[in-house]
Amino acid sequence: MCENEEIYRVANPGQTREYVLYLRDCGAIAATRGHVSIVPYGEALDVRRGYVVDLGRPVRGSVMQGVSIQWRDDHNLAVCTKRMTTGEELDDRVEDVTVTFSSCEE
């Protein structure tokens, strides 16, 4: 069984949704990896819905090294990273939020 450790969450400007950064540890079957999900404001993380992206393994103890995530407004989230999982199928929309992915400098 996998365990999820929430690192932090950031609300959109209208406080209707939050993105949640969390570490997912599935024990011996896979390495701990960083993930981002979008959830309704104030609700518990549910990894079965709202999933956005696998950020890969934490680098030097920080999953956010080389990653930038920002709300542009209530319905647009920008994710910039050089460490996205190759071949990972990425959602470009989570309910009423459009997610834009780009490569960024480390």
Segment 41-60, tens digit of pLDDT: 999 998 888 887 777 766 55
Q: How many domains does the chain have?
A: 1
Query: pTM of the full predicted structure?
Result: 0.80
Q: How far apart are CA 30 and CA 27, in angstroms?
A: 6
Burial of 79 (0-12, 13-18, 19+ CB in 10 A): buried
Residue 60 pLDDT: 52
**What's the average model confidence in pLDDT over 2-22?**
93
Domain span at residue 77? 3-102
CB 20 within 8 A of CB 42: no
Only one residue has tokens 């956005």, namely: 52
Residue 101: closest CA among 48, 47, 43, 36: 36
**Nearest Cα to Cα of residue 53 among 37, 41, 68:** 37
